[in-house]
Structure 1
Amino acid sequence: MTASSTSTPSGATRPRISNRIGSIAESATLAVDAKAKALKAAGRPVIGFGAGEPDFPTPSYIVEAAVAACSDTANHRYTPAGGLPALKEAIAAKTKRDTGYEVTPAQVLVTNGGKQAVYEAFATLLDPGDEVILPAPYWTTYPESIRLAGGVPVEVLADETQDYLVTLEQLEAARTERTKVLLFCSPSNPTGAVYPREQVEAIGRWAVEHDLWVVTDEIYEHLTYDGVEAVSMPVAVPELADRCVVLNGVAKTYAMTGWRVGWLIGPQDVVKAATNLQSHATSNVANVSQRAAIAALTGDLSAVDEMKAAFDRRRRKIVEMLSAIDGVVCPDPKGAFYAYPSVKGLLGKTYDGVTPTTSAELAELILDKAEVAVVPGEAFGSPGYIRLSYALGDDDLVEGITRLQKLFA
């Protein structure tokens, strides 16, 4: 009998951990960030490009709203599992303001961060064996949430030669009689790719034609550059609205990753079912965080514009510096705050006595020799790449990429 199993009265063994949970991989991005922080705490001058969170503080007016909420005894009690009515109203108003999508508060579920919204969307829509078309490179949480809900992720890879944008032909080739959902994310984590309006419309019409659901993640909607527009699919294709779930949150736009407020927007029956699930899983999101989110969504976007200007500056710098490394191909990201270069040209070569053959091995080499933390493409379903978040200080960004230039010179 192993440490991971236990015996039954009949003498047979059974796993201590369920197969469902035991098969889940930890978040690669959080793991890289934790390792970088641990090394820094141990005195090593590690520069981390792993975490997908803004390096700015939450705007002061949002923090002040939270401080005031702490003193209000109404926030010391249970509130509706699906979210404070005032926040649901603010989310509906913000959605119409920012994307043109008009929804009612009854179509909104407030969740404990975006990850809970992702899981609850799939848990509500999928039965065991249902397939979800998952464009890759993808955010690490998507396939795990699909599997947790009993679904089967069907990966469709778009590489740098197509700007990381899947084509309609690729989607159709992946569709089977078991296909129920398409996952769509624009602007994209990890690539920063943004789908143009005509492609959003074409994909949305394809989903309608084949009676598919679309789960669309819009959490980076405000972070686009060079005049590029983030188009909301149910706005571009209104006839899709009754089979579309929109995911969003305050984490990226308002530098509120630690506040844990996300949401799910969809048809009322889907939202009601997901709310029932949440009522048993976690109940309401922390009321103080919800009050802070109300302040964020009802305030102006000046703080967001300041962050976006800094991200844009860093975006141009990191692409310029990465592209100067022989063997690295770095497409210009049009959204979010990530660069996703191909590093295939670096593999199989020897650097400081080490010959990496995979991007995972290359990431280990970079951390060990250059003391720079990056996330390998294996975490995103596309080996041969690395993801670097440029949501860090300008000086650290330049120093970190300079170290890579020296390592691979």
Structure 2
Amino acid sequence: MSTPPETRRRIDTGPSIGDGLTRAVAGLRDPIRRTTSVLTWITRAAWIVLGLGVIAWVVGALGGWVELVVVGAGLLAVLLGCAFFAIGRHPYAVNLRLREGRVVVGERAMGGIDVRNVGTSHVLPARLELPVGPVTAKFALPGLDPGAEHDELFAIPTERRGVLQVGPVRSVRGDPFGLIRRAVQWTDPEDLYVHPRTIRLGSSSAGFLHDLEGQVSREVTNADLSFHALREYVPGDDRRYVHWRSSARVGELMVRQFEETRRTHLVTALSVNDRDYGDPDEFELAISAVGSLGLHTLGTESELTALTQRREIVTLGPRPLLDDLTRLESRKMSEGVVDLARAVTRDAMRATVAIIACGSTVTPHQIRAAGAVLPAGVRALAIQCRIGAQVRAHRLGAVTVLELGNLEDLPRGFRRLKA
């Protein structure tokens, strides 16, 4: 459909008043934005020097104190001289490299920063800053000729589990006193996952976690591994399960029935209640134990569910499992191990093995109560972490308790449970 002539004339007319206002506001906004950017160069110390300089100058001029006027003028002159250190271009192309985005506690994470001068003239020396978690690493950046490159290698020590934010890389120009500081951001931050320590569980130490034949239940099904009984044929039954000898003997079709078998379904329940641990290292040990069990279960292709009092832990694969365990933090809460057992009952009714990981402050009464809440027929275990303790196993009601003092004792502890 064609546009009416009057409409075309209205469209073809010159810019409206609204368009003019928009351009005017944009023209005013750009200088304001540039002014705001310049103001960010001034540090808090510079504002203090500026204020002291102005006050000294004004008080000295009004009171006739030449000394104060000289002091004020000197402070302002120093501030003005420092501003010249921040002047200059930043014609850089910067690349942040992490050799790997995931390491284990205790390993060093290696990385590098590549800087190239993409300008057409020599660039004066500057400084590079690289935030790594709560600290900031600083590197000296030399002067670069056009097209010249500079590589800076670094190593990040990883003493604690967690997710460290590495970056962004910033180039900084400023004065020796730190009054004027001009920073330009070049890269986006990257996450470095510091995974918990884990240990390999051999088949001899964790054989009870994986049973190829499954565990026989009392539920009857039409197709499985464990033969249960014969019954009359019903239309719709699979003829593969017709028992022909019995059918010939009784004169009508008879089919086999089976007892349903369950594949191993391990549930690891980790308490994140800070009150359940006597020391932060106990919580780290519990996370390492849960991670080791999870990796073993995923490696044997058994079913795995992992959870805390508040949510489920991702178990889609080894890397997602360790990534999610890396993000976990303990906190003070009202929910304890009994609430953790209720979560297992609610979210994993078909579990065959349930393992509760907790710390040394959990009482025997709480462990017994947690075992009473778990679903019937589930093999209940508790790993009670106590730094420095000798590994030993004992019973508390329906729960077998494994006291764990360090991660290296975990395979030996499970060998005792199997025995």
TM-score by length of 2: 0.29
Which has the greater radius of gyration? 2
- Please state which structure has a larger fraction of its residues in helix: 1
- Please state which structure has a larger fraction of its residues in strand: 2
TM-score by length of 1: 0.30
